[in-house]
Amino acid sequence: MIYGRVALIGLGLIASSMAHAMRRDGTAGEITGTARSAETRDAVRQIGFCDLVTDTAAEAVADADLVVLAVPVGAMEAVAREIGPHLKPGATVTDVGSVKRAVVEAVKPHLAENVHFIPGHPLAGTEHSGPYSGFPELFENRWCILLPDADTDADALDRLTRLWKSMGANVDTMEVDHHDLVLAVTSHCPHLIAYTMVGVADDLRRVTDSEVIKYSAAGFRDFTRIAASDPTMWRDVFLNNKDATLEILGRFTEELFALQRAIRTGDGDHLFDYFERTRAIRRGIIEAGQDTDAPDFGRGTKR
């Protein structure tokens, strides 16, 4: 056992996956939890991955050794304000939000000095959400980034690191603003591009009837999967990682214009060199074990 009592605030994909993994491994003595709606709380009572589901976050965190904030980024401040006065001295508070600077600013002011706050971000997810979508293998061989600062208690960090490792994650630490820039490149902007491409195709469908669906086997199908991700979560990501995503989108637009010009002027060398460079990046991802070369991207074996 790593923690006696773990409280999960928010009971969706990430929290339910954590609960399933902790139960499988016996790393938490007891798991409490709460969600915003009575519907989700009742669902979790039925599914049974929490020992106790409370109606409020304040009740859920009572006597907890670890509190995990697993709500959309825009809801973090209200939750932190509610739980702040009810935290046990010495408890660790972490979160799983996809953006870090905004979460640190929203949460930290509401926590007492005697509570350890260690922001976190598991780089794992699916396009599904809610309490039924979780599964214990979600974090296996995925990165979990923890964001300690100079004052972070070494024992608290070590314990949280052990928990993520027990769930199969590879743990790394990073500085908060650097995290937001890296994730803008690797996750946030790609999602925005997928949303845009699917939106464009939807406009086109009015002209070409069902062809967009019928012939979507190639790249477009992957875009539709990404573009099916939770609207609340992704709205909050862009509202809260504004500077980094705008910076990366600016660069993206410049490169897109350069490719557009190469197509118009028939500059095949430019296109070829560019595609060769990007292909090498893909090879690097496979070599790093972060994806598979299988034709279905290995999805047949994942949920």
Residues that bind ligand NAP (CB under 6 A): 10-15, 35-37, 40, 70-73, 75, 78-79, 96-98, 122, 125, 129-130, 230, 233
Minimum CB distance to ligand NAP smaller for 73 or for 212 = 73
From the CB of 253, what's the least distance to ligand NAP, in Å? 25
Minimum CB distance to ligand NAP smaller for 129 or for 152 = 129
Minimum CB distance to ligand NAP smaller for 22 or for 212 = 22
From the CB of 193, what's the least distance to ligand NAP, in Å? 17
Alpha-helix runs per DSSP H in the chain: 13-25, 38-47, 57-60, 76-83, 101-107, 154-166, 176-183, 189-208, 211-214, 219-226, 231-240, 242-265, 268-287
DSSP 8-class letter at 212: H
From the CB of 261, what's the least distance to ligand NAP, in Å? 35
Minimum CB distance to ligand NAP smaller for 15 or for 227 = 15
From the CB of 19, what's the least distance to ligand NAP, in Å? 11
Number of Cβ within a 10 Å radius of residue 141: 11
Round to whole Å and give the CA distance between 83 and 225. Answer: 35
Round to whole Å and give the CA distance between 79 and 83. Answer: 6
Name the maximum alpha-carbon separation found in the chain. Answer: 67
From the CB of 220, what's the least distance to ligand NAP, in Å? 21
Contacts of 176 (CB under 8 A, 6+ apart): 100, 101, 104, 119, 147, 149
Q: Is 144 helix (H, G, I), strand (E, B) or coil?
A: strand
Minimum CB distance to ligand NAP smaller for 72 or for 148 = 72
